[in-house]
Structure 1
Amino acid sequence: MTSMTLTTTLLQASDLAISGDGVTIAPISFTLEAGQRLTLLGETGSGKSLIAQAIMGTLPAGLSAQGALEIAGKRFAAAEPATRHSLWGRTLALLPQEPWHALDPTMRAQAQVAETHRFVAGKTAPAANEAASAELSRLGLAQALNKLPGELSGGMAQRVAFAAASAAGAPIVIADEPTKGLDAPRRDEVVELLAHTPNRGGALLTITHDIEVARRLGGEVIILRQGQVVERGPANVLLNHPETAYAQRLLGAEPSRWPDPPSFTGSAQAPVISADALRIERGGRELFRDLSVSVRPGEIVGVVGPSGCGKSTLGDILLGVTRPNAGRVDISREMPRLGRQKLYQDPPAAFSPHWSLTQLLEDLQRRHRFEQRAIAPLMQRLGLNEPLLSRRPGEISGGELQRFAILRVLLLKPRFLFADEPTSRLDPVTQQQTLSLLVELAREQACAVMLVSHDPALVEKVCDQTLTLAG
C-alpha cells in the first residue's frame, strides 16, 4: 500500500493588482502550498512591499487593491482589507521592513516577545518568558533581554521584531526585507529561522533585494520591475541563468562584481576629522579601545564589524553626540556649525511621520537657506520621482525613504558625513548607483565620509581605506 502526501494551499493570489496615487502594480498571481517558499526580488520601489501590504490589508491611504486572495482555505476580496485583520499573528505573520514601526519603544526586548507568546499563542506568563528568552538567545541577543528598542542597534532591533512576529507560530510568514542591516553570519541565522516555517508545513513569502538571501531560501523567485513581473522560475535556475536583460543586470550588480574604485589622490591634505586612542564602554561592556582613525577631504573610510561591535557608537563620538571614556577627537578649524552630519541606518528614526516629504524639505530649506533649485536635479540623480513628495515617510518604501535621507543630508553640503548602512534597503542596481553618486559628490564637495557596512565586498569596491571593529 502506498501513501500519498496531499498538498494544502495556504496562500493564493489571483490577479492581485494595486493602484492609486501614482502607483500601478500590474495583476500578479501566485500560489504557495504548505512547505513552499516564494521570494519577490527587484529594485527599490518595484512594488514588492506593496504586494505584502495588500495581502495583509495594510496598504497606505490612497492605494487600493483588486483581485482575490485565498488564505488558509478562506477566500477574501483584496479590496476589503479589514476582513483579514483577524488573521494577524495567528494565520498571517508579517516581519516588517522597519523594526521601529513594530516595536513598542517603552517595552524591553524579552517582554515584547513574551507578549506574543502569552496573548496570541496562549502560553502562561512563565512559559512565555522562558520561550522569549530562548528565542532571543538563539538570535544572539542573550545580552539584550532587558534593553529597550532605542538601546539596540538596527540589526538587533530587527531580530527582536522577528522573534515577536513569529512567536505565535502562524503558518504563513511574510518577511519584508528580513535581513537588512545584518552581517553575514546573522543574516544566515535569520534565513535558517525563516526556513523553519516551510519545513514545518507552513509557507514563506519573502521580499528582499539581497540576492544571496534568495539563493539560500531557494523555492520560486519572481523578479519585479516598476510593478511588472519580469521573470519567474525556480531559484536555482533563475538566479544562475537569468533569461531577461533586466534580470541579468540586476544579478550582475552584486557588489563583488563592481569595478574597483578610482584611487584617492588627497592623502597629503590635512584631515577633516581625526580620533586618537578612543575607548568606549556601553552597558558595562567595552566596545573598543586604543582606536585611532582620520578622514581627509573627499576620502571614503569603510567601517566594518559584527552587529553590536560599536560602529554606530563610533559615529556618535565623531559627531560629538557621545563622549568617549578615553581618547580625543580633533576637528578641522574650518568645520561649519552644521558641517558634521549623519545618515541613519533606520531612516524612520530621522523623519517626522506626520508631515509630507514636501513639507519636510521646505522646512529644511527655510531653516538652512540652501538653494531650492538644488532639490530637483539631486532627486533625479537619486532616482526619486516627484509624485513621492506628496506622501508621508511611512507611505513610501524603505529604499525610497533611504534615498530621501541621502537627498536631505547632501543638500546641507556637509564636510564630514557618517553614513551608517546608507544603502541597506536598496537593491543591488540602486545601491551601486547611489553609492557611486555619494562618492562622486564627496569628491566634488571635499566631504570626508565614514561608511558603515556589513558587506566587505561593498567596502572593498567603494572605500579608500577600511577600519575593522572586532566586537
Structure 2
Amino acid sequence: MSQYELQVTDLAVTDRHGNSLVQPCSFRLAPGTALTIIGESGSGKSLLVQAIMGTLAPALISTGTIKLGDTSTAAANGELRRPWWGHSLALLPQEPWLALDPTMPADRQVAESYQLIARPGLSRTQAMTNARADLQALGVNTGAQRYPFMLSGGMAQRVAFAATRAGGAPVVILDEPTKGLDEEARASLLDILHTFIAQGGSVLTITHDLHVARSLGGEVMVMKESAVLEQGAATNVLQTPQHAYTQALLAADPEHWQLPHSVPITGPAILSAQGLSKRFGDHTLFKGLDITIHAGERIAINGPSGAGKTTLGNMLLGLVKPDSGLVKRASGLAPLKLQKLYQDPVSAFAPRLPLKQAFADLIKRQQLNPAELPVLLERLGLDSALLERLPSQVSGGELQRLALTRVLLLSPALIFADEPTSRLDPISQQITMELLLESAAERDCAILLVTHDHALAQHTMQRQLQIAPAV
C-alpha cells in the first residue's frame, strides 16, 4: 500500500457573507493511523470533510492548505484535488442513498470501482468476483444483486462502503459509517478498518458512535459550533476529557441514561396486525407476525440489518402491502395520524423546496397552528434561520430534527421512528428522545422505534418486538 500522509493546515470554511462555518483547524493523518471527529450535530464536521475533498457548495469558501503525500494544494482549489478521488483519497458520504447509482445493482457498483479506479482494464468477470467477495465479507450476500431502493439503510451503507474501498485509496474518509448497522455488522466493518489500518492505510472518521471512536483509537477531535474544542490521543480525550462539552458528550451516551418508570399499558388498541408475512423475490423477511399497539405505548423493533424492521413499520402504516395477513386501524383513526420518521431524512423532504416553504405548505394544507412551529424548533435546539435553506444545505442531524418537528406538528396517534437519532450526537440524541417521549405522552401517542442501540431501546421503550430472519 502506498504511503500517503494527509496534512491539513489552518483549514476554514465561511459563507459568502463571511460567517464562519468551520473555524481554522489543523491535523496530520499519518499512514497506519486513525483520526475520529466527534461532536455536536451541525458543528461543521461534514463541511470540514467536503472542504478536504474539494466538494463544497459554490456559495461556500474554504481557506488553508491540504497536502497529500508530496502534493500540496490551497483549500480553495478543489478542482486540483479531483485526481486524488478514489485513487489516493476516498470518501464514504453520510447518506448512502445519495452515493449509490439507483439504476445499478449493488455488486455492479462495487465492481465498477475495481474496473475504473483500482485496476483499469480488469475483466468484468474478475471485478464482479472481487465485488461479491467484498459484499460477502460485509454480510450483504442476499443483497448483492439488488438495486439500492431494495436495500435496507444498513445494507445500503455497507454497499457504499465496499464501493468506496474497492478503489484502493490509501486514505479513506468515512462520514457516519456505522449508522443503520446492527452490532454484528458494525463489528465486521470495524474489523475491516482495523485490518486496513494495520496494512498502512489511514482512516478519518466522523461519527456519533462513541464505541467506534474507542475502537479505532488513534486521535480524537471534538467539535462544537464550528470550532475544535479538544484534540488528542483517543485514550486521553475519551477517558479523561478536559473540556466541559466533551465531558457532557460522553455522559450523554445512552448507556448512562436513567431507566424510565414502568408505565402500565392501559390505553385502547389503535392498531393491530395478524399473520403478517413479506418476501422480496426468493428472500423471506418475516412470516406469521402478530402485533397490537395501544395508545401511548412505546415499542422497540429489534433485529439484524435487513431483517425487515422498516418494512414491518411501513406495512403497519399502510405504505407496504403484506403478502399475507391483515392490518386493522382503530375506528375513526385517520391515516394522517400514523406518521413516520425516516431513517434517511433526505428522503422525507422535497430537495428543491426551501424548508420554510415546505413547512408553510404543511401548515396551510392541514390547517395547523403556525405558532407551534417556532416553539418546537426551540425545544429541539434548531435555529429558525435553517428554514431559509434547502434540505441539502443543512446537516443530517439538523434535517432529522426538522423531520421530527414536522411530525409533531400533526399531533399523531402513532409515530414510526426509524433510527430517528442515528445522525445525532449523544447530547442532541438525548434531548431529541426526551422531547419525542414527552410530546408523545402529552398526546397519548404510541411510538414504534427501530434502533440498533440496545441501551437506547432499553432506557426509553416499554417492550421490545424481536424480528428474527425467516427460515
Smaller-chain TM-score range? over 0.9
List per-residue Cα deviations over 1:403-439 (Å, max 9, x = no partner). 1111111111111111111111111111111011001
Instruction: Tell me the residue number matched to 1:162.
Output: 161
Deviations 1:74-93 (A, max 9, x none): 11111122211121111110
Task: Answer with 322-331 or 383-392: which moved more.
Answer: 322-331
Shift of 1:283: 2.2
Provide the residue aligned with 1:66 in structure 2.
63
RMSD: 1.5
Question: Paired residue for 2:346, among 325, 348, 351?
Answer: 348
Which ranges in structure 1 are unaligned for 5 or more consecutive residues? 1-6
Q: In the alignment, what sits opposite 1:279? A: 277
Per-residue CA deviations over 1:293-333 (Å, capped at 9, x if unaligned) read 22222221111110011101111210112222332222111
In the alignment, the residues of structure 1 paired with residue 281 and residue 38 of structure 2 have an alpha-carbon distance, to the nearest angstrom, of 39
Structure 2 equivalent of residue 373 of structure 1: 371
Alignment partner of 2:10 out of 15, 19, 25: 15
Mapping 1:409-448, distance limit 5 Å: 409-448=407-446
1:240 equivalenced with 2:239 (yes/no): yes
Name which of structure 1's ranges 197-206 and 443-452 shifts more when overlaid on structure 2: 197-206
* One-letter amino acid of the counterpart of residue 167, structure 1: A
Runs (4 or more) in structure 1 with deviation over 4 Å come to none
Structure 1 CA distance for aligned equivalents of residues 155 and 447 of structure 2: 24
Q: Partner amino acid for 2:275?
A: A
User: How is 1:70-469 mapped onto 2 (pairs within 5 angstroms)?
Assistant: 70-121=67-118, 122=120, 123-265=122-264, 267-469=265-467
The partner residue of 2:39 within 39, 42, 45 is 42
**DSSP-derived class of the 1:413 partner:** coil
C-alpha distance in structure 2 between counterparts of 1:269 and 1:175, whole Å = 44
Q: Which residue number in structure 1 is paired with residue 49 of structure 2?
A: 52
Deviations 1:262-310 (A, max 9, x none): 3324x22211112223222222232223322222222211111100111
1:26 deviation in Å?
1.4
Q: How far has the Cα of 1:392 moved from its partner?
A: 1.3
User: Which amino acid is the alignment partner of residue 307 of structure 1?
Assistant: S
Aligned amino acid, residue 428 of structure 2: T
By how many angstroms is 1:154 displaced? 0.4
Q: Residue 353 of structure 1 aligns to a residue in which SS?
A: coil
Deviations 1:218-249 (A, max 9, x none): 10001111111221211122212212221111
Q: What's the secondary structure of 1:249's corresponding residue? A: helix
Aligned residue for 1:4? none
Alpha-carbon distance in 1 for matches of 2:69, 2:367: 55
**Equivalent of 2:22, from 16, 21, 25?**
25
**Equivalent residue of 1:205, what SS?**
strand
What is aligned with 1:3?
Answer: none
Amino acid of the residue matched to residue 39 of structure 2?
Answer: G
Q: How many angstroms does 1:390 deviate by?
A: 1.8
The answer to whether the 8 A contact 2:3-2:170 is kept is: no
Q: Gaps spanning 5+ residues in structure 2: where?
A: none
Structure 1 CA distance for aligned equivalents of residues 252 and 58 of structure 2: 33
Distance in 2, Cα, partners of 1:143 & 1:452: 21
State, as a whole percentage, how many aligned pairs show the same letter: 47
State how many pairs are aligned: 464
Q: CA contact under 8 A between 1:299 and 1:443: conserved in structure 2?
A: no
Residues in 1 aligned to 2:433 and 2:110: alpha-carbon distance in whole angstroms: 36
Whether the 8 Å contact between 1:300 and 1:465 is mirrored in structure 2 is yes
Aligned partners of 2:4 and 2:170 also within 8 Å: no
User: Secondary structure of the equivalent of 2:273?
Assistant: strand
State how far apart, in whole Å, the 1-side matches of 2:199 and 2:380 are. Answer: 42
Helix, strand or coil at the partner of 1:372: coil
1:303 touches 1:452 (CA, 8 Å); kept in 2?
A: yes
**Contact (CA 8 Å) 1:39, 1:221: kept in 2 or not?**
yes
Q: SS state of the match for residue 93, structure 1?
A: strand
Report the Cα distance in structure 2 between the residues aligned to 1:367 and 1:193, rounded to whole angstroms: 49
Distance in structure 1 (CA, Å) of the matches to 2:69 and 2:92 = 19
What TM-score, normalized by structure 2, do the two folds share? 0.95
Alpha-carbon shift at residue 334 of structure 1 (Å): 2.9
User: C-alpha distance in 2, partners of 1:60/1:23?
Assistant: 15
The Cα of 1:111 is off from its aligned counterpart by 0.7
Query: Which stretch has the larger CA shift, 274-283 or 86-95?
Result: 274-283
Name the CA distance, whole Å, in 1 between partners of 2:332 and 2:296: 15
1:23, distance to aligned residue in structure 2 (A): 4.3
Aligned-partner Cα distance in 2 for 1:109–1:55: 27
Contact 2:3 2:200 in 1 (8 A): no
Give the TM-score taking structure 1 as reference length: 0.95
Structure 2 distance, partners of 1:24, 1:164, is 30
